[in-house]
């Protein structure tokens, strides 16, 4: 067991297999004897889950880009305070489905000046990165098909369609170049078990 825990995030476009791989990794590490907390954003604490339904349900133009950024950041702050930081301090492995990279993409790429605002707010209110981020890279059309096939009410972002998916995919790959030490890219266009082998290997390297 580690004296101090590990914080791992999964990132990628909608339908890339993040939740699936996060769950498989959590099961794998739990079997190995690690104390694992599997969580997600937006959400992962009582208050943040309430904010989640505000931002993910309803009309696509329900919030301005700026208001949306504040809501996602408020949810993240609560999640950090109440779930992530206490677990990592207690030596646990926290596996989080999306974190701040999603805000850098979904809110940060909305217009020319938004990324700077995202970064400023992150520095002010969050100030924390995962130890490791696994980016599942995925064909945008395939990802959208998978996401829409789930048929949930949380489709505000899926409603933006294939063009947004393609833009996010390119943005995530550029982000991996920006943070090469933290973000590891894996190919998600393969069967679940094959993707999981890569995920496990990368996570194990960080647990050593």
- What are the residues binding ligand TYD (CB under 6 A)? 14-15, 18-19, 41-42, 56, 72, 97-98, 102-103, 106-107, 147, 157
Judged by CB, which is closer to ligand ADP: 35, or 189? 189
195 binds, among ligand TYD, ligand ADP, none (CB under 5 to 8 A by kind): ligand ADP
CB of 184 to ligand ADP, least distance (A): 16
CB of 133 to ligand TYD, least distance (A): 13
The token pair at 150 is: 């789930």
DSSP-based helix, strand, coil % in the chain, nearest 5: 55, 15, 30
Using rule CB under 6 A, residue 73 touches ligand ADP: no
Cβ neighbours for 204, distance < 8 A, ≥ 6 positions apart: none
Q: Which of 77, 146, 156, 206 is close enough to bind ligand ADP by CB under 6 A?
A: 146
Contact 203, 8 (CB under 8 A): yes
Q: Which of 5, 9, 20, 73 is close enough to bind ligand ADP by CB under 6 A?
A: 20
Number of neighbours of residue 65 by Cβ within 10 angstroms:
16
**Separation between Cα atoms, residue 16 and residue 89, nearest integer Å:** 30
């Amino acid at each position: 067991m580690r004296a101090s825990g590990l914080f791992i995030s999964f990132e990628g476009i909608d339908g890339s297999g993040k939740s699936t791989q996060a769950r498989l990794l959590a099961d794998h590490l739990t079997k190995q004897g690690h104390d694992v907390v599997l969580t997600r954003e937006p959400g992962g604490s009582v208050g943040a889950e309430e904010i989640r339904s505000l931002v993910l349900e309803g009309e696509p133009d329900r919030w301005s880009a700026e208001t949306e950024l504040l809501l996602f950041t408020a949810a993240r702050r609560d999640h950090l305070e109440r779930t992530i930081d206490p677990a990592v301090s207690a030596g646990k492995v926290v596996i989080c489905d999306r974190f701040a990279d999603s805000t850098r993409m979904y809110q940060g790429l909305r217009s020319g000046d938004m990324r700077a605002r995202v970064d400023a707010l992150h520095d002010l209110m969050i100030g924390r990165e995962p130890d490791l981020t696994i980016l599942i890279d995925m064909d945008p059309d395939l990802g959208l098909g998978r996401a829409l096939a789930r048929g949930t009410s949380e489709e505000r972002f899926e409603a933006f369609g294939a063009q947004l998916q393609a833009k996010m995919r390119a943005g995530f790959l550029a982000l991996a170049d920006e943070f090469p030490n933290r973000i590891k890219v894996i190919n998600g266009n393969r069967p679940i078990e094959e993707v999981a082998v890569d995920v496990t290997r990368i996570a194990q390297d960080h647990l050593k």
